[in-house]
Amino acid sequence: MKELDTFVKIVVIGDSNVGKTWFLSTFVNNHKLPEKCEPTLFDNLSTQFVFHGIEYELSLWDTSGAPERKKLRCLSYQDADVFIMCYSIDNRSSYDNIRFRWLKELRRRCPGVPRILVGLKSDLRSKLTYPLLPKDGEILQFDIQASAFFEFSITTPKKHADIFAEAVRLALLKKVHVRRQSCCMQ
């Protein structure tokens, strides 16, 4: 019997300044807010995460949303188990770019890899005149065929666990599917 693969590579993509780095760093640092958050060119974080009683090593790849960093960003896509596609609820263009930029990039380079859609900065909604609503995220999830949709705020850290549990679940399903496809009966 083959041993369970407990390594999961998760790549986080989306426009610059939507909150990807805060999202990942608060997860890895047990919900502590970083003192300051620099724009990311490329970062790789690692953490342990327990899912259904089994400890998984999550390799979290934080990518730059800058168009001029495309070549570097695409190098991080190799062997990804799951993509988390992020937009900010206070930035309509980051939402639109999920469909018109990021989805195209993933379909071309990584077809078949599961995707999770996450709307970041949901704590800002009450302060905005025209924020993106949860219904907008649900519509986009359906349109891009993402496996799940979540909204996230640094004020509700429990959502981290929900999002990464779903990422691990999708990665396991992908690995089982790939293993079954590579088997042949003679």
- Tens digits of residue pLDDT in 106-133: 999 998 899 999 999 998 888 888 889 9
- Which residue in this structure is represented by tokens 């300051």? 36
Going by C-alpha positions, the residue among 61, 15, 65, 33 that lies closest to residue 157 is 33
Q: What is the pLDDT of residue 185?
A: 39
What domains sit in the chain, N to C, each tagged with a CATH number?
A: 7-182 (3.40.50.300)
Q: What is the pLDDT of residue 41?
A: 52
Size of the chain, expressed as the number of residues it contains: 186
87 touches 122 (CB < 8 A): no
Side-chain half-sphere CA neighbours of 120 within 13 A: 25
- Counting as low any pLDDT under 70, the low residues of the chain are 1-4, 31-43, 67-68, 157, 177-186
Q: What is the pLDDT of residue 40?
A: 57
Amino acid identity of residue 49, one-letter, is F
Distance CA(114)–CA(57), nearest Å, equals: 18
Q: What is the pLDDT of residue 39?
A: 56
pTM here? 0.88
